């Protein structure tokens, strides 16, 4: 499904992201609020306050050589859905020993945002 310019993008466009990611060969493993997690945990998407804006973050432990290619595919395919998917940097994920939940720390890179 591709949106036309007259159709509104929802606040959190999970359906569009699901179709987009499955179309390029990635499977969503989990969603939590504004975050979309993928198999193998190499990257995640964060839905921003504007429905069209989606941030892409790579796991700090992911293969650095593959990041630019993955980001380019997301940007290109997102544009077809009227989404602006932007590579924002990396993240770290670990266990929160205090309460048994996951702790995610985003490390945004201003240099990446300008590209």
Tokens encoding 1: 């499904």
Domain-wise residue ranges, the chain: 14-113
Tokens encoding 49: 């306050």
d(CA 80, CA 14): 15
State how beta strands 53-59 and 84-95 pair.
parallel
pLDDT of residue 59: 97
CB of 5 closer than 8 Å to CB of 82: yes
Q: Given the structure tokens 């009227």, which residue do they identify?
A: 82
Q: Which residue has the higher pLDDT, 98 or 46?
A: 46
Q: What is the pTM of this model?
A: 0.85
Q: Which residue has the higher pLDDT, 95 or 71?
A: 71
Domain 14-113 has CATH 3.30.160: no
pLDDT tens sequence across 50-80: 999 999 999 999 999 999 999 999 999 999 9
Say if residue 7's pLDDT is above 80: no
Distances (CA, A) of 45 to 28, 79, 92, 97: 10, 15, 14, 25
d(CA 29, CA 6): 31
Q: Given the structure tokens 């994920």, which residue do they identify?
A: 93
Q: What is the rounded average pLDDT of the residues 4-26?
A: 87
């Amino acid at each position: 499904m591709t949106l036309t310019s007259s159709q509104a993008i929802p606040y959190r466009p999970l359906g569009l992201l699901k179709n987009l990611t499955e179309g390029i060969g990635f499977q969503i493993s989990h969603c939590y609020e504004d975050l979309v997690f993928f198999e193998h945990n190499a990257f995640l998407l964060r839905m921003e306050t504007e429905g069209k804006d989606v941030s892409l973050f790579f796991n700090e432990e992911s293969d650095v050589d593959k990041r630019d290619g993955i980001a380019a595919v997301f940007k290109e395919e997102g544009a077809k859905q009227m989404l602006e998917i932007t590579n924002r940097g990396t993240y770290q994920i670990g266990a929160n020993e205090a309460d048994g939940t996951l702790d995610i720390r985003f490390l945004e890179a201003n240099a990446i945002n300008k590209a």
